Structure 1
Amino acid sequence: MQKELADIFQKESRNLFMGKMISVTTVRVSPDLALAKSYVSIFPTDNNKEVLKQIRIANPKIRGILGRRVGKQLRVVPELEFYIDDSLDYIDNIDRLLKD
């Protein structure tokens, strides 16, 4: 699931998401396969909220593309929820604080 979403974002990010580089860091799927929480890292980090808003607007299109790719392997294509993974920003902040 993570690999397929990453591939979708790689191919669609130029057109849909203001040319930002979007990588999928983690995907957590519920046991009944009804929900997939996807954590994305966005580079450059300015306007993260706006890009996340665009991703959520494009959610039906992304789910449709995902369904065509994994439809043969999965009985149900899960609903997608997207969240910003800010762990890299957190690590960068800790490093900056330790250097001072």
Structure 2
Amino acid sequence: MESNRQRKVAQIIQEDFAELFRKQAAESKQSILVTVSDVKVTADLGIAKIYLSIFPQEFRAAVMKEIEENKTQYRNFIGQKMAKQVRVIPNLNFYLDTSLDDVEKIEKELRGEGDNPIL
């Protein structure tokens, strides 16, 4: 069960990264949308798991690679934002959130538009 502190830190991280990715998208020449779908923080506030949705799908691998390469800069960014709120800045782990793809696939199957392996 998450504590209030974990939820607060996760919310701060989610809002700050959402703003950062929005600014990067505005500055970029490509139309890539990166959204922070969820953030989970461990009980000791040492690790933050950040789940990202990236659209269009063909850019997912490249964007995730770039994010992983810039992980140190992102940690410094969040450290500046949270310096007065936490003693230790959490390590950041980024994950691709494919839950929207799964929902779309299920909806397609329910409408009968998907591949039916039984028939």
Q: TM-score, normalised by structure 2?
A: 0.76
| Offset of residue 60 of structure 1 | 0.9
State the structure with more CA Rg.
Answer: 2
**Aligned structure 1 segments of 4 or more residues deviating by more than 2 angstroms:** 12-16
1:84 aligned onto 2:89? no
The 1-side partners of 2:26 and 2:65 are apart by 16
RMSD of equivalent CA atoms: 1.8
Out of 72, 77, 83, the residue aligned to residue 60 of structure 1 is 72
Where in structure 2 are the equivalents of 1:15-34 lying within 5 Å? 19-34=31-46
Q: In 2 relative to 1, CA 14–56 (structure 1 residues): closer, same or farther, beyond 3 Å?
A: farther
| Offset of residue 5 of structure 1 | 1.5
- The one-letter code of the counterpart of 2:103 is I
| Percentage identity across paired residues of the two chains | 35
Q: Deviations over 1:74-97 (max 9, x none)?
A: 111101000000000000011111
1:95 aligned onto 2:112? no
Number of residue pairs matched? 100
The 2-side partners of 1:69 and 1:8 are apart by 11
| Offset of residue 47 of structure 1 | 2.9
The 1-side partners of 2:25 and 2:84 are apart by 25
| Offset of residue 13 of structure 1 | 3.7
The 1-side partners of 2:86 and 2:21 are apart by 20
The answer for the alignment partner of 2:5 in structure 1 is none
| Offset of residue 15 of structure 1 | 5.3
